[in-house]
């Protein structure tokens, strides 16, 4: 089942249960998908594209929530985090920090990286192989930690 079909199904359920937060989140996903499809020449929307889009939406929500928390506006941060949680359920399961460290350390050994000069090589391979399983900021932090 495609992401669009899953979203439509969930939207119907959210409408029936009158879940405003879920409905708003799902409409945001649908809107981004439609926008991405109209921008692209190719109508095919791959699974990798869907994952990138969902990660972007989750990151936007978390960044907004962090900003609201910094400004002492927990009332605005809560709905953002709730939306991020709803959107994240359509993403593949994320790897734990320990699993990421193990994977990245084996990747560093495989590439032969020894210093921060090799960070670009490691990040390139890690980003490709961990697409959808971890966000780039977490990957970058772990790579820096292991290379320093």
Average pLDDT, the chain: 86
- The DSSP annotation for 67-92 comes to HHHHTT-HHHHHHHHHHHHHHHTTSP
State the helix-helix crossing angle for 74-88 and 47-70, rounded to 10 degrees. 160
What is residue 33's three-state secondary structure?
A: helix
Report d(CA 102, CA 79) in Å as an integer: 34
- Whether 131 has a pLDDT exceeding 80, the answer reads no
Report d(CA 135, CA 80) in Å as an integer: 18
What phi, psi does 66 have (nearest 5°)? -65, -40
Predicted pLDDT at 78: 93
Summarised one tens digit per residue, pLDDT across range 68-84 is: 999 999 999 999 999 99
User: Across 13-27, 42-56, 86-100, which has the greatest mean pLDDT?
Assistant: 13-27
Summarised one tens digit per residue, pLDDT across range 76-122 is: 999 999 999 999 888 888 888 888 888 888 888 888 877 788 888 88
Predicted pLDDT at 1: 65
- Whether 40 has a pLDDT exceeding 70, the answer reads no
- Whether 67 has a pLDDT exceeding 90, the answer reads yes
The secondary structure of 87-145, three-state, reads: HHCCCCCCCCHHHHHHHHHHHHHHHCCCCHHHHHHHHHHHHHHCCCCCCHHHHHHHHHH
- Whether 33 has a pLDDT exceeding 90, the answer reads no
What is the model's pTM? 0.73
């Amino acid at each position: 089942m495609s992401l669009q079909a899953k979203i439509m199904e969930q939207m119907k359920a959210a409408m029936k249960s009158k879940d405003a937060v879920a409905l708003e989140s799902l409409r945001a996903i649908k809107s981004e998908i439609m926008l991405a499809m109209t921008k692209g020449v190719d109508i095919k929307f791959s699974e990798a594209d869907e994952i990138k889009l969902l990660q972007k939406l989750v990151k936007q929500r978390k960044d907004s929530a962090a900003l609201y928390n910094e400004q002492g506006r927990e009332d605005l941060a809560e709905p953002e985090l709730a939306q991020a949680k709803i959107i994240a359920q359509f993403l593949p399961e994320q790897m734990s920090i320990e699993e990421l460290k193990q994977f990245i350390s084996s990747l560093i050994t495989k590439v032969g990286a020894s210093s921060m000069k090799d960070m670009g090589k490691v990040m390139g391979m890690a980003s490709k192989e961990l697409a959808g399983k971890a966000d780039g900021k977490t990957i970058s932090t772990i790579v820096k930690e292991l290379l320093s």
